[in-house]
A and B are shown apart, each in its own frame.
Chain A
Amino acid sequence: MTIVEIGLPKRLVEFTLDGESVRVPEGATILDACTAVGKSIPTLCYGDTLKPANACRVCMVEVEGSRTLVPSCSRKVEPGMVVRTDSERTQHSRKLVLELLGSATDLSTTPHVDEWMSACGADPSRFGPDAETKLQPTTVDNPLYVRDYGKCIMCYKCVDACGDQWQNSFAISVAGRGFDAHISTEFATPLPDSACVYCGNCIEVCPTGALSFKREHDKREDGTWDESKQTRTTTVCTFCGVGCNLTLHVQDNEIVKVTSPHDSTVTHGNLCIKGRFGWQHVQNR
C-alpha cells in the first residue's frame, strides 16, 4: 500500500524583515512574506504555479550570516532570520542582474522591467556595443505560436510548465550550456514535428513575451494590439466537462487572447489546445 502525503498543519515563524518583526506560516518564502506585508520585490523566473527555478536572480535579498545573497522566491523563512531587501549589496546585485539581462536580451515586452531599471539606475548599454547578445530572428513554424528567443531570459518556466510540473509533454528543454544555453526541441526540430500539443501553457508563464500567441504577435506587428482597449473576463470553457476557467482578452468585441486564472483549483493556469484556441468559431460572423 502506498501512502501519499497531503501535508501537515502549519505553525507561525517569526523573523525580521528590513528591521520589522514579521510572522508568517511555516514554509512561507521570504518573497511570500514580502508580498504579505506589501513589499514589492521584482521577480522574473518566479511563477505562482511553478516550483522556484532560482535562475534569474532578480529577487535576491541579504540574509544575515549568509555568505552570499539568497533568492527570496525560494528561501524559506526560518525563525529569527534577519533579512534585508534594500541593502547596498542587494541593490547592486539587482542593478547588475538587470543590466546583464538587458545587455544580452530584448526586454522590450517584459512588463515592469523599465520601472525596475530606472529605480536602481541600471544601464545595460554600459557593456558596450560589441557585447555579445542572444538576438536572433523570430521562429514561426506553426499557425498558433511564435517564438522570439531574442527575448528569452532562460527562466525555465516554459520548460517546467511543459514538463513534469504541469503538462508532462516534455516538448522543450534547455539545451547547450552557459551563454549558449537555449530552449529547444530535440535537434531544434520544428514544433509540429515535436511532442508539442499546443496547450499554450508555456506562453501562459513566459515572463518576457519570448513566447506569444500568433494572434497577439500579428496584432503587435501590424500595430493593432492595444491593451488599454482590452477587457479581461473569466468564464468557463465548453470543450469538455472538466470546467476549465478561461480569461478572455477582448479588444473591439473580438477575443484576441485566452489565458487562464492561476488561482483556479481546476486549472492552475493551464488549458489544452481547445480551450486556448477554440474560440474563433464564435466570431466567425
Chain B
Amino acid sequence: MDLKLLDAEPTEAERVVVDLFTGMGRDQLLPALHAVNDRVGWISQGALNHICRVLHVPPAEAYGVASFYSLFSLTERPAKVVHVCVDLACQVNGAKAVCDRLTDELGPAGAGSGWLRSPCLGVCEKAPAALAFEAGEVAKEQLLAPTHAGEVIAVAAAGPSRVDGERAEVPQAGAPGLRLLKRVGVVDPESLDDYRATGGYQALRTALLLGPAGVIREVSDAKLMGRGGAAFPTGRKWDATARQPVRPHYLVCNADESEPGTFKDRLLMEGDPFAVIESMTIAGFAAGCSKGYLYLRGEYPRALHLLRNAISKARERGFLGTNVMGHEGFSFDIEIRRGAGAYICGEETAIFNSIEGFRGEPRSKPPFPVEQGLFGKPTVVNNVETLVNVPVILTEGCEAYTRIGTEGSTGPKLFCLSGNVSRPGVYEVPFGTTLSELLDLAGGVPPGRELRAVLLGGAAGGFVRPDELDLPLTLEDARAAGTTLGSGVVLVLDDTADLGSFLLRIAAFFRDESCGQCVPCRIGTVRQEEALHRLVGKRPLSTSAADLQLLREVGQVMRDSSICGLGQTAWNAIESALDRLGYAEEATK
C-alpha cells in the first residue's frame, strides 16, 4: 500500500529490534510494539514509523493500536517503571496505604515518578502486589508480592533484580485427589521428563488413537463446560468448528486472565505449563486446527518464560510440529502472544483483533468464532482451565469424569480465594462443594473478624451474604441464586472492608477497561462511576433516590445494549451490592 510515514527516524536500538520483524505482516504489530517497549520502555514516533515501514501498517492505525494498551506509552518515559496494583484484592489488603506513601515519597503516580497504578495483576493471593519493569537489551520484570511501600521505592530506584517471579504455590500442593493442580508446586515446571513421569502426554496418545470425532465425543459426554465465565459446552464448540469446511481452523487458548481476583490460570501455567501445551494440542487435533495461539496477559512474566520453555521442549521432542507424536498428517504448533494491558482482550472476539494487529475491540456476534474467528477462519477459543480438564477426561474416561461434581456441573473446579481470608490461593474442589466448605478450606476470615460478604465471579459477578454460604458451587445453583461463578473468583470481605470504596473500584475498573466502541459502555461506565461517587460520598445531584434510579437506568442500558460481556456485566456487582447487601438503603439513608 502507499503508506505515508511521519518524518521521524528510529534510534539505532529501536531499529535493531524492529528490523527483526522484516518480511512479516500486520499480525506482528503487537509483538513489534512489545519489542520496542522491552528495549526502550516507550514507543517513539521514529519507532512507530519504522514498525509501520517494516510491517506495512498505516501509522494512524498503528498509533490507534498502540494507544489501546495500557502497558505502552506513546510519550517518553524512563526505562524503569513499577506497576502498583490497586485492584480489589490488593485494595482490601492495604494497596491504598502503599500508594499514599509512594505519592508522598516519589510524587503522584505517573511516568515521571517511576510508578503507575495498575488494574489487577493476577497475584491476589499475595496482595498487595506490584510488578517492576525495566527496559533494556534484556528487559527485566520482577513481581513484588506481597509487597510494601519501602520495597516498591527501593525497586523503583534500583530496577528489577531478576527476570521472573517465584515458584508457583498452591495451599493444597501435593494433596491426594487433585487432578488439575496435581503437579502444581510439586513437579519441576521446566522439565518435560518430569511431566511425562507424572502421566504427561498420555492423554494426547489416547486422543490420537480415538481420532478427532472420538475426542469430541468424550469431551461432549463428559459435559465439560467452559471455565472462563460463559460456561459454554466445550464439546459443542469443538464439534461446530470441526465441521466447518473452510480451512485453516485456529485454536486460541485464552490466557488473558484479567478479571480482578482471578489468578488460577497463572498458577496452572506456572505450575504445570506442559499440561497447557498438551491440552492445546489435543484441542487442535479434535477441532482440525493446525495452529494454536496462546494469548497470555502481558503482566505474567514467569508464565511467559515457562510456557516458552515448554513449547520449545515439546517441539524438540516431536510433541509439536509436523506429525505430532509420529501421527501422520497431524501437524500443530503454538505461538504465544503477549497482551499489553487490556482486560477487554480476554473477550473471545477482541482477542482475535488483538492477535491480528488491530485494536482489541470485540466484534459483533453473529458471526460466531466457530464460523468466522481469527483471520476470519473457524476458531475455537478456550480458557486455560477448560483445556487442562481435557487430559483428565481422556485419561480417566468421560464416565469417571461425570461422577465428579454434580449432574449439571461436572468435574473439578478451581476457585481463587483472596481478600480477607486466612489462606488465600487457588483451590481445587468438585463442583457442588458449598461456599462455606470452600471458605473453611481457606481458613475463613482472619481471626477476630466477621464475614461481611463474598464477591463471587469477579467484578462482573455478584455478592453473596454471610447467610447464603450454604450455596452449592455449581453453575445451576449460582444461576438460580442470581449470581455467577464467573471465572471462579471468591473474594472475601470482612467487617473492616469499606464497601463504598470497593464498589467505586469496581466502577473505575469498568470505566478504565471499556474499549470505548459502543455508547452504552463507553459513556455508561463513566455515568455509573459518577453516580456511584455521588451516592457513596452522599453528595446527590438532587436526591440519592434519584441518583439510585439513574444508576439503575444506566445499568439497564449497559446490560441490554452493550456489544460485549464487559458492558453487559459492568453493572452486575454494583446492582448486587445495592440489592443483596442492602447498600441501596445504606446509601439513601
- Chain A residues in the interface with B (C-beta under 8 A): 52, 54-58, 60, 68-69, 71, 74-76, 89, 92-93, 96-97, 100-101, 103-104, 126-128, 130-132, 153-154, 163, 168-181, 184-187, 189, 193-195
Answer yes or no: B148 CB below 8 A from chain A CBs.
Answer: no
**Could you tell me which B residues sit within 8 Å of A by CB distance?**
1, 3-4, 6-7, 45, 48, 58-64, 67-68, 70, 74, 342, 359, 364, 366, 511-520, 522-527, 530-531, 541, 550, 553-554, 556-557, 559-563, 568
Q: Which 4 A-B pairs have the closest CB atoms?
A: A181-B516, A170-B58, A173-B64, A96-B557
> Of all chain A residues, which has the CB nearest B3?
A195
List of B residues within 8 angstroms of A194 by Cβ: 4, 60
**With contacts A55-B518, A176-B516 known, is A127 near B550, CB below 8 A?**
yes
Complex CA gap A145/B519 in Å reads: 26
Chain B residues within 8 Å of A92, by CB = 553, 556-557, 560
Task: Name the residue on A nearest B45 (C-beta).
Answer: A187
The minimal Cβ–Cβ distance linking A174 to chain B, given in whole angstroms, is 5
- When distances are taken between beta carbons in the complex, the residues of chain A under 8 Å from B527 are 100, 103, 127, 131
15 pairs, A vs B, C-beta closer than 8 Å: A55-B563, A57-B562, A60-B560, A68-B561, A93-B560, A128-B530, A173-B58, A173-B61, A178-B522, A179-B523, A184-B64, A186-B59, A189-B6, A195-B4, A195-B60
Given A56-B519, A69-B560, A186-B60, A174:B359 Cβ within 8 A: yes
Closest CB in chain A relative to B527 CB, distance in Å = 5
**From A56, A68, A131, A195, contact of B568 by CB (8 A):** A68
**Residue of chain B at shortest CB distance from A90:** B560
Given contacts A68-B559, A93-B557, contact A177 B364 (CB under 8 A): no
Given contacts A76-B366, A100-B554, 5 further A-B contacts (CB under 8 A): A55-B563, A97-B520, A101-B523, A185-B60, A195-B4
In the complex, how many angstroms separate the beta carbon of B225 from the nearest chain A beta carbon?
17
Check B67–A177 contact: CB distance below 8 A: yes
Closest to B524 in A: A100
* B514 in contact with A131 (CB, 8 Å): no
- Does B6 lie within 8 Å of A170, measured CB to CB? no
Give every chain B residue within 8 A of A132 (Cβ-Cβ): 526, 530
Shortest Cβ distance from B574 into chain A, in angstroms?
16
Please, how many angstroms separate the alpha-carbon atoms of A178 and B561 in the complex? 16
* B63–A175 CB distance below 8 A: yes
> A154 to chain B: which residues have CB within 8 Å?
516-517, 519, 522
**Chain A residue at minimal CB-CB distance from B361:** A174
CB closest chain-A residue, reference B359: A174
Cβ of A220 to closest chain B Cβ, rounded Å: 26
Instruction: Tell me if A's interface is mostly helix, strand, loop or mixed.
Output: loop
Nearest to A130 among chain B residues (CB) is: B530
Query: Which of B60, B359, B364 has a CB less than 8 Å from the CB of A52?
Result: B364
* Bound Cα distance from A195 to B7, whole angstroms: 12
User: Which residues of chain A come closer than 8 Å to B359, judged between CB atoms?
Assistant: 174
Residue of B nearest to A102 (CB): B523
Chain A residues with CB under 8 A of B525: 178-179
Neighbouring B residues of A76 by C-beta, 8 Å = 366
Shortest C-beta distance, B557 to chain A (Å), equals 4
CB of B283, distance to nearest CB on chain A (Å): 27
Complex contact A177–B511 (CB within 8 A): no
> Are A93 and B530 also in contact (CB < 8 A) when A104-B523, A184-B64, A186-B6 are?
no
Chain A hits for B524, CB < 8 A: 96, 100
Distance (whole angstroms) from the CB of B13 to the closest CB of chain A? 20
B342 touches A57 (CB 8 A): no
Instruction: Establish whether residues A176 and B67, one from each chain, have CB atoms under 8 Å apart when the complex forms.
Output: yes
On whether the beta carbons of B6 and A177 are closer than 8 Å, the reply is no
Q: How far is the CA of A96 from the CA of B524 in the complex (A)?
A: 9
Known interface pairs A68-B561, A96-B554, A170-B60. Does A57 touch B530 (Cβ–Cβ under 8 Å)? no
Residue of B nearest to A105 (CB): B523
Cα–Cα distance between A59 and B457 once the two chains are bound (Å)? 31
Shortest CB-to-CB span from B572 to chain A, Å, is: 13
Contacts of A101 in B (CB 8 A): 519, 523
Residues of B within 8 A of A169 (CB): 58
**Which chain A residues border B366 with CB–CB below 8 Å?**
75-76
What residues of A have a CB within 8 angstroms of the CB of B515 in the complex? 177-178, 181
Q: Which residues of B lie under 8 Å from residue A177 when comparing CB positions?
A: 67-68, 70, 342, 513-516
Say yes or no: A168 contacts B554, CB within 8 Å.
no
Give every chain A residue within 8 A of B514 (Cβ-Cβ): 177-179
Measured between alpha carbons, how far is A218 from B364 in the docked complex, in Å? Answer: 39
Contacts of A56 in B (CB 8 A): 518-519
**A76, B70: Cα distance in complex, Å:** 35
B526 touches A179 (CB 8 A): yes
A153 — which chain B residues lie within 8 A by C-beta?
519
List the A side residues contacting B541 at CB < 8 Å. Answer: 128
CB-based contact B60/A97 at 8 Å: no
* Residues A60 and B561 in contact in the complex (CB < 8 Å), given A96-B556, A177-B516: yes
Q: Is the CB of A54 within 8 A of B516?
A: no
Chain B, residue nearest A74 (CB) = B364
User: Which residue of the partner chain, among A52, A55, A126, contacts B517 with CB atoms under 8 Å?
Assistant: A55
Query: Nearest chain B CB to A77's CB is how many angstroms away?
Result: 12
Write out the residue numbers on chain B whose beta carbons fall within 8 Å of the beta carbon of A100.
519-520, 523-524, 527, 554, 557
User: Cβ of B1 and Cβ of A168 under 8 Å apart?
Assistant: yes
Contact A186 B518, beta carbon cutoff 8 Å: no
Contact B63 A97 (CB under 8 A): no
Check if A97 sits within 8 Å of B557, measured CB to CB. yes
User: Which residues of A sit under 8 angstroms from B516, Cβ to Cβ?
Assistant: 154, 174, 176-181
Q: A186 to B568, alpha carbons, bound, how many Å?
A: 31
CB pair B60–A171 under 8 Å, yes or no, is yes
Residues of A within 8 A of B518 (CB): 54-57
Complex Cα distance, B367 from A75, in Å, reads 10
**B513 touching A178 by the CB < 8 A rule?**
yes
- Complex Cα spacing A127 to B359, Å: 30
Most chain A CB within 10 A, of B519, B522, B531, is at: B519
From B48, B522, B568, contact of A179 by CB (8 A): B522
- The residue on B at minimum CB distance from A56 is B519
Nearest CB to that of B57 among chain A residues?
A: A170
Contact A131 B6 (CB under 8 A): no
Chain B's nearest CB lies how many Å from the CB of A50? 14
Interface centre among B1, B6, B58, B342 (most CB of A within 10 A): B58
* Docked pose: A101 CA to B516 CA in angstroms: 13
The smallest C-beta distance from B361 to any residue of chain A, in angstroms, reads 8
Chain B residues with CB under 8 Å of A104's CB are 523, 526
In the complex, residue of chain B having the shortest beta-carbon distance to the beta carbon of A155? B519
Q: Are A57 and B561 also in contact (CB < 8 A) when A96-B520, A101-B519, A127-B530 are?
A: yes
CA distance A44 to B512 in the complex (A): 25
Question: How far is it, in angstroms, between the C-alpha of A246 and the C-alpha of B246 when the chains are bound?
Answer: 42
Which of A75, A93, A131, A187 lies in contact with B561, CB distance below 8 A?
A93
Nearest Cβ on chain B to A27's Cβ, whole angstroms: 13
Separation of A103 and B68 alpha carbons in the complex (Å): 24
Contact B550 A131 (CB under 8 A): no
Report Cα–Cα, A132/B527, bound state, in Å.
Answer: 8
Asked whether, in the complex, the Cβ of B561 is within 8 Å of the Cβ of A97, the reply is yes
